[in-house]
Amino acid sequence: MTRLLAIETSCDDTCASVVEDNRILSNVISSQASFHEAFGGIVPEIASRHHIQLINGVVAAALDHAGVALDELDGIAVTRGPGLIGALLVGFTTAKSLAAANRLPLLPVDHLQGHVAANFLEPDPLEPPFCCLVASGGHTLLAGVTGHDGYELLGTTLDDAAGEAFDKAARLLDLGFPGGPAIQRAAEEGDPEAFDLPVSRPDSGRLDFSFSGLKTALAYLVRDLGPAETAARCADLSASFQRAAVDQLIDRLGAAIEDGNWNAVALGGGVAANAELRKAAADLCDEHGLDLKLVPIELCTDNAAMIAAAAIAGSLDPIPYPDYLPLDAFAEKVR
Ligand code: KG4
Ligand code: ZN
């Protein structure tokens, strides 16, 4: 049995979780979204400062909800990147200090591996081989998962992440932040065929994504329509943008399905909350006779349970106490 405390602070959510094998005992997420709303996006410095204020309480709540004391843990897992450096430092320093004070091993985890590993969690763990689309505000990738300890990168975005594109589109349409849910809501009343927005196919030889052309096309459209017409056609613009973004994600997912030998398809990241994407992915899986795995939204978006799952599932070498204390040796191990 392995029982871990995990900490995740790579972006704007302060997260801690206790996981025993693949069973979640607690999963605490303190979202800072409301603090960033006024700025129309996440402000890294504000995120770091809020993590500092929140992290001790969030860790205490995770241990308390799980009914687990620090001396009952086998180790502490923590996101080592990618992410906002100041935000990551808060979680990492907290994890390292707690581990050192309690003589526990430290398990530094790759954030994207965490998103993939969310699928291994109970009550409905997914067994490889499967293909996983992770689309959030910070990353967009297609992962070919054939084991528990890694994935093959089948494709990634060459510029903006899918969620970032939704956020930028929402800003152009004056819909507020975060943009994804706002665009989805506005699109409900709109015609997705009203405007012809581009679905880019990068010529990189892989299953890569590109969303910057879509964003620029929308920006030119909004400029040409002018403020009054843009406001009047907001639903159509949202629906057309959403259609182009989802079409691109589904096009690449379809190609990955045809290229590989998968039992199932999984969706992760905040954009996986998008109803059009979920529906299109379900249709695609039906066509190919594959299962579609949709983890609950709180495990799609950033959370610490997925970081614990990656640490438990992977062939990660825990760094034993006190090996992570000397800085040089430690830098070598987390590189
Ligand atoms: O995974 P997440 O909560 O945080 C990270 O970025 O790591 O993802 C947030 C992103 C935002 O860009 C947000 O606009 C997008 O996910 N998002 C959506 C929806 N809900 C959230 N995008 C499209 N449709 C949605 N319903
Ligand atoms: Zn993420």
Closest ligand to residue 41's CA: 1
Digitized pLDDT (tens) for each residue of the chain, 335 residues in all: 899 999 999 998 999 999 999 999 999 999 877 777 778 778 899 999 999 999 999 999 999 999 999 999 999 999 999 999 999 999 999 999 999 999 999 999 999 999 999 999 999 999 999 999 999 999 999 999 999 989 999 999 999 999 999 999 999 999 998 899 999 999 999 999 999 999 999 988 789 999 999 999 999 999 999 999 999 999 999 999 999 999 999 999 999 999 999 999 999 999 999 999 999 999 999 999 999 999 999 999 999 999 999 999 876 779 999 888 877 666 776 66
Closest ligand to residue 277's CA: 1
Instruction: Give the pLDDT of residue 329.
Output: 67
Instruction: Give the pLDDT of residue 330.
Output: 67
User: Are the CB atoms for 328 and 116 separated by under 8 Å?
Assistant: no
How many Å lie between the centroid of ligand 1 and the Cα of residue 162? 8
pTM, two decimal places: 0.93
Q: Is 10 in the pocket of ligand 1 (CB under 6 A)?
A: no
**CA–CA distance from 54 to each of 80, 95, 238, 276 (Å)?**
19, 14, 35, 34
Rounded CA separation 177/34 (Å): 9
198 by DSSP, 3-state: which? coil
Q: Is 180 in the pocket of ligand 1 (CB under 6 A)?
A: yes
How many Å lie between the centroid of ligand 1 and the Cα of residue 171? 14
Instruction: Give the pLDDT of residue 240.
Output: 98
29 by DSSP, 3-state: which? strand
Instruction: Give the pLDDT of residue 206.
Output: 83
Instruction: Give the pLDDT of residue 280.
Output: 98
Instruction: Give the pLDDT of residue 315.
Output: 66
How many Å lie between the centroid of ligand 2 and the Cα of residue 194? 32
**Residue 292, H or E segment:** strand 291-294
Query: End-to-end CA distance of the chain, in Å?
Result: 28
